[in-house]
Structure 1
Amino acid sequence: MGQRSVLMLGGSGQAGTETAALLRRWYPTLPLTIAGRDLDRARRVADRLGTATAVRVDLTRGDLGRPADERYSAVVAALWDERLHGLRYAQRRGLPYLSVSSGPVDIAPEVVMGAQNTGAAPILLASHWCAGALTLAVSHLAREYERVDAVRIGAVLDERDTGGPAGMADLERWSATTSAALVRRDGVFTWLPAPDARAEVIASDGTAVPGEYIAILDVPSIAHATDAPNVHFAFAVGASTGRRRGGPASLEVRIDIEGAAPGGAPLRTGRYLTHAAGQRPLTALGMALGVERLLALRGAPVPPGIHTPEALVDPAHAVERMLEGGAVLTDAPGAG
């Protein structure tokens, strides 16, 4: 029997389409099933990919509106599945599952479902910035440290690069869920009320963009991956450096790390992770890296349980893929 297909819920949306295209480049024979409410749109995506099929799904139904005899290798939720029928569908069939739309507050139902069915299959919670790509980059950069004392992230999202209707809906839902920010201070995870969460993000061209610290899964993931007692993530929406220079909306994230080098000497580095095409290529990359690991296309089979990107994906491999895909890592002015 040949390899079964990956069921991509929301596979015809912006994130799903780019993820499917990336998987097709990496694995030309990997079967993909593009699933959505609009079958014609899903078919157009599948036709462009090749080795892909299109199906209509109904997320209001526990069986997703699909025949009981269909078989898949994994389920990818490239959209907000408010009833979690995609996760339940995966668990009942023992299939790996990946999600990218649950904020740090609304992951609770996914975590509980996973805890109640620990032997079912792996669940990859990748609702991080760019589906975990940033956390993987930080984990890679932190390897030059013997001890990490602080990690400070500053991301600028261009208002013209919010990821389509689904991405906008996610941002609005997250902001409605909580206006408080999650940071780690002196080893303690702390919620900051909105008035204390104001921040300023310095774009790669030196422009200061008003923003705020936010609650995002990268904070606990980076904190535990690096053992840094101090971690925060500042986020700003505004014109990106690429657009200010007359080009398309670009992605830019500043990563500052402080700690000690091997041997104990103080070490401080600052770098920018940028992409001229905006956030979508790195979001697709994060999702594709997750699918690659869940299917054991790279690395050992993933055991059942709840996982995060930095716990499964090799950071060096992730950064190599980022650079192949057009991302750039540069030293920040004045850092070090």
Structure 2
Amino acid sequence: MGQSESVLILGGTGQAGAGAAALLRQWHPALPLTIAGRDLDRAQRVADELGAATATTIDLRRGDLGLPADHHYSAVVAALWDDRLHGLRYAQRHGLPYLSISSGLTDIAPEVVAGAQRANAAPILVASHYCAGTVVLAALHTARRFGRVDSIRIGAVLDETDTGGPAGIADLERWSTATTAGLVRRDGVFHWITDPDAQADVRGTDGTGLPGRSIAILDVPSLALATDAPDVRFDFAVGESTGRRRGEPASFEVRIDLEGTDREGAPISTSRYLVHPAGQRPLTATGIALGVERLLGLRGEAVAPGIHTPESLLDPAYAVQRLEETGATFIDTPGGG
């Protein structure tokens, strides 16, 4: 499918937006891209590096985003926190697919309501999961060998130097202000948990433990409802990653533990790490790029209007393939299946 109109990337000068734009340019060289930010010079630099891309400024306080009325786009990506939802409203008014990554579990209600009120306007991909849904997709790819999944436990280490720039830090602060409770699924029921139940020891690939806690994150309901696993938990720790302890750049580390049965009913379990030596940016960028590719119909059939999540649209095997192309790898733990 060809595209004559441009993908508008709000926050396209940030780590996530610029990274996603670079992947889209690599995967689809002819796809027009518009890098939108508050600083035109910075946006132009990103656009020039991409080639065949344009730059523009935006004003998120305005319903029209400060964009000329005669400019037309093929999709809107919010790679930043849009507290007035003007990006979403702009997309709905123009019938454009929309993707967001910064709302988090505690802030998606306005997006969901907006989508329900204008259900036929355009598809909305809510990808405010960890690393834009790539961890969910990796876990679902791991679960493919299971006949029944009984429990899923995710343990993520975010290096304190790899929080994604000012926008990423602001997101973390906003989410922690909204709630300090964690969301888990236990015996088929979603529960809010607080200390001490929320506390957890999160271990990196070298076995070093960091103090972490269960968090309220979209990955929990996405994994629970996609697999019907009655027990799901996502623990999160911020600290020094294994890569940095080795004197290397900050690394990305997520442990994925699953228990259940195989297709013949025999008990099985698996434990593996999804890692990337360059930190979280490549995974978040891949999640955004996969979502845009799918929303535009560049891979797969057309996406219907309404609310969508990454696992409802994207093939886990294909997502893992794309992650591995960026340098991500899986490391099985001893005795992990």
TM-score norm. by structure 2 comes to 0.98
Count of matched residue pairs: 336
Show the counterpart of 1:282. 283
User: Could you tell me the percent identity over the aligned residues?
Assistant: 71
Show the counterpart of 1:203. 204
> 1: distance between equivalents of 2:276 and 2:67?
38
Shift of 1:2: 5.4
Shift of 1:193: 1.9
Letter matched to residue 148 of structure 1: V
> 1: distance between equivalents of 2:211 and 2:186?
22
SS at match of 1:53: strand
Show the counterpart of 2:72. 71
Show the counterpart of 1:216. 217
Q: Which runs of 4+ in 1 moved over 3 A?
A: none
Q: For residues 1-336 of structure 1, what are the structure 2 equivalents within 5 Å?
A: 3-336=4-337
> 1: distance between equivalents of 2:195 and 2:95?
41
> 2: distance between equivalents of 1:321 and 1:14?
18
> 1: distance between equivalents of 2:332 and 2:304?
37
Shift of 1:68: 1.4
Letter matched to residue 295 of structure 2: L
SS at match of 1:21: helix
Q: Are the equivalent residues in 1 in contact too, given 2:297–2:303 (CA < 8 A)?
A: yes
Shift of 1:69: 1.6
> 2: distance between equivalents of 1:131 and 1:209?
23
Q: Are the equivalent residues in 2 in contact too, given 1:254–1:332 (CA < 8 A)?
A: no
**Cα deviation code 1:279-331 (max 9, x no counterpart):** 00000000000000000100000000000000000000000111111000111
Distance change in 2, residues 1:2/1:138 (3 Å):
closer
Q: Which runs of 5+ in 2 are unaligned?
A: none
Q: Are the equivalent residues in 2 in contact too, given 1:179–1:194 (CA < 8 A)?
A: no
TM-score norm. by structure 1 comes to 0.99
Q: CA RMSD in A?
A: 0.9
Q: Are the equivalent residues in 2 in contact too, given 1:161–1:279 (CA < 8 A)?
A: yes
> 1: distance between equivalents of 2:81 and 2:143?
32
Letter matched to residue 37 of structure 2: G
Shift of 1:335: 2.1
